[in-house]
Amino acid sequence: MAGEIIYADLRHPGDGFSPAEKRHAPALCPRWHGVVLKVSGLGHLVLLVLVVVLSVQACAGCKLCPQDWQLHGDRCYRLSKETGNWNQGKKGCENQGSQLAMLRDKKEEEYIKNITGGRTQPVWIGLLSSHRNWRWVDNTSLNTKMFRTLQEVDEGCGTLKNKMLEVDICDAEHEWLCQKHPFQLSPSTAGGGKKCEASV
């Protein structure tokens, strides 16, 4: 036996594989890891479908107003931060693609009175008297059955003051209230589809 070389494969106790064998052995995970991964993926898919469905339903007939405008019914309203005479208020609204606010019914009147609050300073609205005839900015007549008759004046402009419709000289300096139609995100659904209201 002299001169013979003997090679032995030595393994440590508890070491089942050689380094080469270890590289090729698959990592074993507990079975519940796979189940949790599948359930989690399914849960995410269900949530995604729900978000899409609810978004489509919620936005059927969404009405959006620009930032700093308030939506009420079919109109967006904005109280100016600046002051000016009635014509400046009218032009200020027109520059924003709107017009001075017009009171069409009691519900709208109440909402507009809430926007202007109990201010002691008048706020311009879209009402103008010419030759003792009160007309709105769209040239329709003031409905005297719905609103109390304003003082007859040859020339004057309409305001809201202390939640009351009043008249003032058109050159006075006041804030003004504009109104415009909201942006329709998608067509309204017939048959009572849900509507959402928001500002952009």
pLDDT for 197 equals 54
∠ CA 49-51-57, rounded to 5°: 105
pLDDT digits (tens, 9 = 90+) for 78-100: 999 999 999 999 999 999 999 99
C-alpha to C-alpha distance for 11 and 116, rounded to whole angstroms: 89
Q: What is the pLDDT of residue 198?
A: 54
The parts of the chain modelled with pLDDT lower than 70 are 1-3, 6-27, 51-61, 118-119, 147-151, 186-200
Angle (CA) 34 26 14, round 5°:
115
pTM of the complete model: 0.61
Question: To which residue do tokens 């393994």 refer?
Answer: 11
Q: What is the pLDDT of residue 88?
A: 97
What pLDDT is recorded for position 108? 81
Whether residue 180 contacts residue 99, with contact meaning beta carbons closer than 8 Å, is answered with yes
